[in-house]
Structure 1
Amino acid sequence: MTGSLLRVGVAGGSLAGLFSAALLHRAGHDVTVLERSRAGLARRGAGLVGQQDLFDVMARLGLNAVTRSGVEARERITLDRRGDIVYRDPTPQTQLSWDYLYEGLRALIPSGQYRLGSAVTAVRAEGGGAVVQIEDGEELAFDLVVGADGLNSVVRTHVAPGRSANRYVGYVTWRGLIPEGALPEPAAGVLLDRFAFYTAPRAHMLGYLVPGGDGQTTRGLRRYNWVWYRSMPLPDLASLMVECGHGPTDSSLAPGDLPADLRESLVRNAATELPREFAQAIAAESRPFLQAIYDYVAPQMSTESVALVGDAAAVVRPHRHGGRQSRR
């Protein structure tokens, strides 16, 4: 270490970890990102709605090209059960590709400083800094550790011992991301180039266009991102996880995890419960994925030499992000 520059370990290599690592690296610090995935996170996300604070930090990092690749929805609409538009808001907004944003941030970190297959299993304070243990037993010492390891953060248990548990709130979000050309008529005519909503008791549906995986914004190369919030009691969530080959306490399904019969059941439920346009969008997704929704706010954000960011620090329900839908 030279002068005030620090050796920093960032636990978690998704967006929160990458933003932290990129800013620290840009400031001259020696940063190592420890990501538990062995294959990497490319193509793991869907879409997100860009807000001004995101655009500001991207500009600071020199990634204006990424933010310029957004797709603009010309208006926000709300559908009723029949598919009629019952509300219009002419305010335009920009949607981004999670994939393209991730890849832009990832490129800012030298390849040797982004370590895959490096799940952090423990953190302890030592010598004025912090030591992290990797699942293979390796220990790494840092001046500062940033916990960006998500919903089930290990670093959180060090910062907030005994107060690190999430609380399931009783609903999940089903998601899909399809080529815009897979959206049939009349759904395409209603949904494309708009941010659309449908609300019903104990359910909420929305969808919007995002760029292609490599940031394409040309018509025909974009993708449609849909999000269906549905009530699901905790025992049902546990049963679903087991049916999909997961542990009963798991909280998410990746694309391809949902068996064909359960995917067909989801499509049938959509046809029964949603406007036809949204039901067609769900039917067009062969590999829907799921995330259970939890609440958590850390009682403190840091201890000496260890800090929390992102979902490790606070799990914010998607509906509450600046009053507009957003999520990876």
Structure 2
Amino acid sequence: MRIGIVGGSLGGLFAAALLRADGHEVHVFERAEGGLAGRGAGLVAQHEVFEILRRLGTESAARVGVVAYERIVLARDGTVLSTEPTPQMQVSWDGLYRALRAHVPAGSYHTGDGVVRVDQSATHAFVERASGDRLAFDCVVGADGIGSVVRAVVTPTQRDNHYTGYVAWRGLLPEAEVPAIAASSLFDRFAFYFSPNGQALGYLVPGPDGEIAPGRRRYNWVWYRQAPGAEGLRRTLRDAEGQAHPFSLARGEVSTEDRDALRDAARNDLPPAFRVLVDAEPTPFVQAIFDHESSRMASGRIALLGDAAFVVRPHTAMGAAKAAGDAMTLVGALRRLPVREALVAYEAERLPVGRRIAAYGRQLGESLQPA
């Protein structure tokens, strides 16, 4: 078949690589100019990700990572409250992205001309791009994330995301730039700090090209902070030029004023190790935390996959695994059934999974939501 995939991040690439392996003609549409290489940090590769890579013959891409040998919880003064020996490996997001991209020819991965509309007839699904191109497919998969365009067809009355009232401030420092007080207490550990209205955590991840040797890695920190209501959201997501963004601010978009305010808050609220990490990050970035649960994952010849269907909170560390599970189920259904029947079967299997993961994320984030 000829299949169009809207969204060229990991979820779209999981589906694209598996569908090509089954012999389908696949076209991926990513609105970002040049693709998404260099935009990720680290992720926990759970069994669904390993299974997809095994099927593609590239399982080694998820076996090169940085291991945190234990989990620790810090007190406000920096002492260790608890230690738990739970080894966990963080793999390179960029390495995984590159491994999957290698399964999609350059001529089939289209960037910079975003999809603005999707619709369908009895025999085809159609993708319309910003340039005006209208392309026909046997099936279209919406893997276009939190701002999904494809949702408008599958769940036209459920397009919006629900803001939870808190955001994740993030930093990603080269290992050599991590202050000594943080390196000595945090390296090779998955570290947490819990406060009444927030949570900080951090861990080492591979370098930008997958480097795992000491000195070549990066330290990824996250600080969840409350920003209640619509005004709190607008204020947090206003960039250095005063422009409001819907979901996040990327590196370089946070104003100097907001960066300095974040540093001041860290001096007051965080343990020393996390405090110096925030202070050392020259270009922090921020992601607002949203929920979204679709009541449908398919309609006719069009399906939703990954965050386009269920936006789950990052505390679960299951975003990539959920998308991988969606992709394997979708491809398996298309292998044995006609398109419309396949998408019905796909929806029936994956809707309950998405609901369970979404509920788990809400439970994990409950203490961070404003009262």
Measured against the shorter chain, the TM-score band is over 0.9
1:308 equivalent to 2:304? Answer yes
Aligned with residue 211 of structure 2, among 212, 216, 219: 216
Matched, 1:61 2:63: no
The alpha carbon displacement at 1:244 in A equals: 3.1
Mapped partners of 1:280, 1:62: distance in 2: 42
Matched residue type, 2:274: F
Instruction: Tell whether the 8 Å contact from 2:239 to 2:253 is kept in structure 1 after alignment.
Output: no
Show the counterpart of 1:37.
32
For residue 219 of structure 1, report the CA deviation from its aligned partner.
Answer: 0.6
Which has the larger displacement, 56-65 or 285-294? 56-65
1:9 aligned to 4, 9, 14, which one? 4
Partners in 1 of 2:209 and 2:237 — Cα distance?
Answer: 32
Quick check: 1:267 aligned with 2:263?
Answer: yes
* Counterpart residue number, 2:253: 257
Letter in 2 for 1:8: I
Q: Deviations over 1:87-130 (max 9, x none)?
A: 11101010011111111111211000000012111111124220
Aligned partners of 1:77 and 1:89 also within 8 Å: yes
Letter in 2 for 1:285: E
Higher helix share: 2
What pairs up with 1:178-193 in 2 under 5 angstroms? 178-193=173-188
**What code does the residue aligned with 1:318 have?**
P
Cα distance in 2 between the residues matched to 1:263 and 1:133: 39
Are 2:26 and 2:108, in contact at CA under 8 Å, matched by a contact in 1? Answer: yes
- Give yes or no for the alignment of 1:83 onto 2:78: yes
Q: Do the aligned residues in 1 keep the contact of 2:74 with 2:271 (CA within 8 Å)?
A: yes
Aligned with 1:283 (options 260, 279, 284):
279
**228, 239, 244: which one pairs with 2:240?**
244
- Following superposition, the deviation at residue 249 of structure 1 comes to 5.4
SS at match of 2:64: coil
How far did residue 50 of structure 1 move? Answer: 2.1
Which deviates the most, 9-18 or 125-134?
125-134
> For residues 116 and 294 of structure 1, do their structure 2 counterparts lie closer, same or farther at Cα, with a shift above 3 Å needed?
same
**1:138 partnered with 2:141:** no
Give the equivalent residue in structure 2 for 1:204: 199
Query: Counterpart in 2 of 1:3?
Result: none
In the alignment, structure 1 segments of 5+ residues that lack a partner are 1-5
Distance, in Å, in 2 between the alignment partners of 1:90 and 1:67 is 22
Question: Could you list the per-position Cα deviations for residues 185-206 of structure 1 after superposition, in whole angstroms to 9, with x for gaps in the alignment?
Answer: 1210111111000010120111
Q: Pick from 29, 45, 48 the counterpart of residue 43 of structure 2.
A: 48
The amino acid of 1:45's aligned partner reads G
1:317 match: 313
Q: Please tell me the residue identity of whatever aligns with 2:267.
A: A
Paired residue type of 2:93: W
One-letter amino acid matched to 1:298: S
Pick aligned residue for 1:175 from 166, 170, 175: 170
Measured in 1, the distance between the counterparts of 2:140 and 2:27 equals 10
CA–CA separation in structure 2 for the residues paired with 1:278 and 1:33? 39
Cα contact 1:174–1:291 (8 A) shared by 2: yes
Q: Distance in 2 between matches of 1:99 and 1:156?
A: 27
Alignment of 1:113-128 (within 5 A): 113-128=108-123
1:221 counterpart SS class = coil
What are the superposed Cα offsets for residues 5-46 of structure 1, whole Å, 9 maximum, x if unpaired?
Answer: x10100000111111111111111100000101132111112
Give secondary structure in 2 for the equivalent of 1:319: helix
Q: CA RMSD in A?
A: 1.6
CA distance in 2, matches of 1:189, 1:176: 18
* Gap change, CA 1:79 and 1:211, over 3 Å in 2: same
CA contact (8 A) 1:66 1:215 kept: no
Identity of aligned residues (%): 48
Kindly indicate whether the alpha-carbon contact (under 8 Å) linking 1:129 and 1:304 is maintained by their aligned counterparts in 2: no
1:231, distance to aligned residue in structure 2 (A)? 0.5
Structure 2: segments with no counterpart, 5+ residues: 319-359, 365-371
Cα distance in 1 for residues equivalent to 2:47 and 2:307: 20
- CA displacement at 1:320 relative to structure 2: 2.7
- Residue 26 of structure 1, aligned match among 9, 15, 21: 21
Q: Which deviates the most, 77-86 or 254-263?
A: 254-263
Cα distance in 2 for partners of 1:248, 1:257 equals 11
2:147 paired residue number: 152
Q: Which moved more, 1:68-77 or 1:122-131?
A: 122-131
Q: Is the alpha carbon distance of 1:170 and 1:187 closer, same or farther for their aligned partners in structure 2, counting shifts above 3 Å?
A: same
Secondary structure at 2:150 match in 1? helix
Count of residues in Structure 1 that have an aligned counterpart in Structure 2: 320
Give TM-score, length-normalised by structure 1: 0.94
Is 2:162–2:292's contact at 8 Å kept on the other side of the alignment?
yes
Instruction: Give the letter aligned to residue 80 of structure 2.
Output: I
Aligned to 1:235: 231
Alpha-carbon offset, residue 301 of structure 1:
0.4
- Which digits, 9 at most, give the CA deviation of each residue in 1:133-161, with x for residues without a partner? 10111101000100011101010111001
Deviation at 1:239, TM superposition (A): 2.3
Which 10-residue stretch deviates more, 114-123 or 43-52? 43-52
TM-score by length of 2: 0.83
For the Cα contact (< 8 Å) 1:179–1:221, is it kept in 2?
A: yes
